[in-house]
Amino acid sequence: MKGNPFKKMVGGEITFHLGQTFGNAVQMREIFREYAIQKGVVLKRVKNDNVYNNKETKVKWIASKFENLVKTNQTVSVKVICDLLRENYRVSVDFQRLYNSKKRTLAGLAKDHAKCFGLLRKYAYMVNQSNPGSAVHICTQEPQPTFQRMFLSFEAQKLGFLEGCRLFIGVDECHLKIPFGGVLLSAVT
């Protein structure tokens, strides 16, 4: 570090010169506190910590940084996101901005799911083209097509059930925890 290291004058008097350096921030604060007491003045402190409220931390930026976290754990609290922002980026933001960024990420996730539901008809067509004899039925609600349910059975599964398996069907269900919810029902022989 360039400059002259700080030294107290004879008698303990504190004087400052241009270019003086201090060992660390704690030592500097202690010296300034002593100086204020010696001279009988009040110091005006400007907050200069590692964590600050940066106006550039917009909702869009926060959402982009924590998109993967929210996608993998949709119930993550904004307190956790706030702590990660402080730890990784040394930025402190208000909770409303954090709520909005999480909401924005979840809305983007819902759009991704809606886009995937839109691809189901293409998937059904490809299954029928590549695996003739398979059964694919998609039920939607009208007037605006809204996905309701889908049935899928591959030709090999049907033949295996009819020709070689015992005539016993096990049914299992799984409740889906996606924005649209639902139940995945599977039949196993």
For position 117, what pLDDT does the model report?
A: 79
Whether 111 and 127 map to the same domain: the answer is no
User: How many domains does the chain fold into?
Assistant: 3
**102 within some domain:** yes
Same domain membership, residue 183 and residue 132: yes
30 domain residue, yes or no: yes
Q: Running along the chain, 189 residues long, what does each successive block of 10 average in pLDDT?
A: 75 82 84 85 72 76 89 88 87 90 87 79 91 89 81 86 76 79 78
Residues 111 and 170 grouped into a single domain: no
Q: Evaluate whether residue 46 is within a structural domain.
A: no
Provide the pairing of β-strand 146-153 with 135-141: antiparallel
For residue 18, tell me if it sits in a domain.
yes
pLDDT value at position 39?
83
Using the 3D structure, point to which of 93, 116, 139 is the last residue of a domain.
116
Within 8 A by CB and 6+ apart from 59, the residues are 97, 100, 101, 104
* Token couple for 52: 């600050």
- Does 109 lie in the same domain as 71? yes
Residue-level pLDDT at 156: 86
- Is 44 part of any domain? no
pLDDT of residue 130: 92
pLDDT value at position 114? 74
Rounded CA separation 183/32 (Å): 67
Q: What is the pLDDT of residues 116-140, one digit of tens each?
A: 877 888 999 999 999 999 999 988 8
Instruction: Tell me if 45 is assigned to some domain.
Output: no
- Alpha helix ranges (H) inside the chain: 25-39, 59-65, 67-72, 78-89, 95-118, 120-130, 155-163
First to last CA, the chain: 75
pLDDT at 51: 54
- Residue 50 belongs to a domain: no
Q: What's the domain range around 147?
A: 119-188
Task: Answer yes or no: do 138 and 176 share one domain.
Answer: yes
Per-residue pLDDT, 10:
76
Domain-embedded: residue 47 = no
